[in-house]
Amino acid sequence: MGAATALYSATCYAHGKYGNGNPYPVNLSVSVGLSGWLPCARSLKNKIESSQEAAQKASSIPLLLCHGKADDVVLYKHGEKSADALKTTGFSNVVFKSYNRLGHYTVPEEMDEVCKWLTANLGVSSSSSA
């Protein structure tokens, strides 16, 4: 449920509201979803297009989605469709990374990619203690 929550949070941030209409109080800088899917994708376009502020927020928030092609819990096609849905509704800063033999878990290669992406998108410097 983590990736679905992260992606839903990004859409609520852009729209400024939860799905029930209550204000969304969190200011997100980025969002990362691993091996997941986007809830409420069908209604997303109307929500983002309903407000210039929502469209601006959608286009500015960096999103990283990673998915294994061997995922048998959340099928790869759902992750891919989620990335496409975000891109077509105005989330223009979406990166979708796929991993050939990865199931519904993570591997060091994926975590390295996430760390690099977060470092780049949050403007923090990486340091090594080695």
Percent of the chain with pLDDT over 70: 95
Domains and CATH numbers, the chain: 2-122 (3.40.50.1820)
- Do 42 and 10 contact (CB within 8 A), yes or no? no
For 51, counting Cβ atoms within 10 Å of its Cβ (0-12 exposed, 13-18 middle, 19+ buried), the class is middle
User: What are the tokens at 119?
Assistant: 């470092």
Q: How confident is the model at residue 76 (pLDDT cuts 50, 70, 90)?
A: very high
* pTM (two decimals): 0.91
Q: What is the pLDDT of residue 127?
A: 63
**If we measure between CA atoms, which residue out of 114, 116, 130, 6 comes closest to residue 61?**
6
Q: Average pLDDT of the chain?
A: 93
Strand partners, 45: none
Q: What angle do CA 60, 16, 1 make, to 5 degrees?
A: 85
